[in-house]
Amino acid sequence: MVDCGEGTQMQLRKYKLKIGKINHIFISHLHGDHTFGLFGLISTLGLLDKSSDLNIYAPPPLEQIVHDHLDAFDIHIPYRLVFRDLDCSKSEMIYEDKNLRVETIPLQHRIPTCGFLFHEKPGLRNIKKEAIEEFNIPVREIHRIKEGFDFTTESGEIIPNEQLTREPQKPRSMAYCTDTLYTENVITKIAGVDLLYHEATYMQDMADQAKESFHTTSQQAAMLAKKSGVGKLVLGHFSARYKNLDLLLEEARKIFENTFLAEDGAVFNID
């Protein structure tokens, strides 16, 4: 999960997402609209008898804030909270497993803030079912072949891997950038990602207000997407003054056509 604003639990239930499967939460910065849902979520996970660790990646003050909250309300949870302090002044890899790595993206806001870059790792090659039958490949050899090795038949014939497998799916990537001034410093980190989520708090006619409050306009977000060569741009973090979000979408699409709005319940394919 990335950020945890007020009402997060209600939204998770509304869209039938399994709360108990959340094991990692990435917090961009310590403003309430990105953190107020965390306290209730931690408590609810305890009521659901969560047993695995909950890993929280956030600027340093959050760990003490959360523990003070748990103590003040006499909340006892059956699982372990593991905090990883983020240094928002630099980019670093903060998480890695066999499928994914996550890096931070330094942003410019009123308080220490970082975005997140999610990179899928290359998968194994896909073995052809017909090749398994044709060459009578035993189960014990399938994983080796997926890793790129050739196969030797019982008669000693070497079958090249290219004949046995297909290319794996291209690794996917996503960048998350909120809240921040327009800054081209992020381009080297987000260049070529499949999907960029970027804040678009204001329209361009309020560019001065955006700069003063350390936010971005929809036009600026689109310019950044274009300069970074991303595949898809998703706008979010809209000011409550806008009742018609299509105005922000139209402004952005004039610069970067493949732009969409991050509305409640929207689903975007990353490919």
Give the pLDDT confidence of 50-87 residue by residue, as tens digits.
Answer: 999 999 999 999 999 999 999 999 999 999 999 999 99
User: Which residue out of 33, 68, 97, 208 is catalytically annotated?
Assistant: 33
Give the count of alpha carbons within 13 A of 43, CB side only: 16
Residue 94 belongs to a domain: yes
Quick one: 192 and 114 in the same domain? yes
- Tokens at 108, concatenated: 């410019």
Task: From residue 98, give the alpha-carbon distance in Å to each of 54, 85, 102, 122, 173.
Answer: 19, 22, 12, 10, 15
Q: Does residue 197 sit in the same domain as residue 252?
A: yes
Number of domains in the chain: 3
Per-residue pLDDT tens digits for 203-239: 999 999 999 999 999 999 999 999 999 999 999 999 9
The string of pLDDT tens digits covering residues 137-155 is 999 999 999 999 999 998 9
Are 116 and 244 in the same domain?
yes
| Known catalytic residue at 74 | no
Considering the domain boundaries, does residue 235 fall inside one? yes
Q: Is residue 99 part of a domain?
A: yes
Structural domain includes residue 100: yes
Length of the chain: 271
| Contact assessment for residue 187 and residue 175, using Cβ atoms and an 8 Å cutoff | no
Boundaries of domain holding 242: 89-122+170-264
Q: Does pTM surpass 0.75?
A: yes
pLDDT at residue number 169? 87
Same domain, 245 and 202: yes
| Within-domain flag for 107 | yes
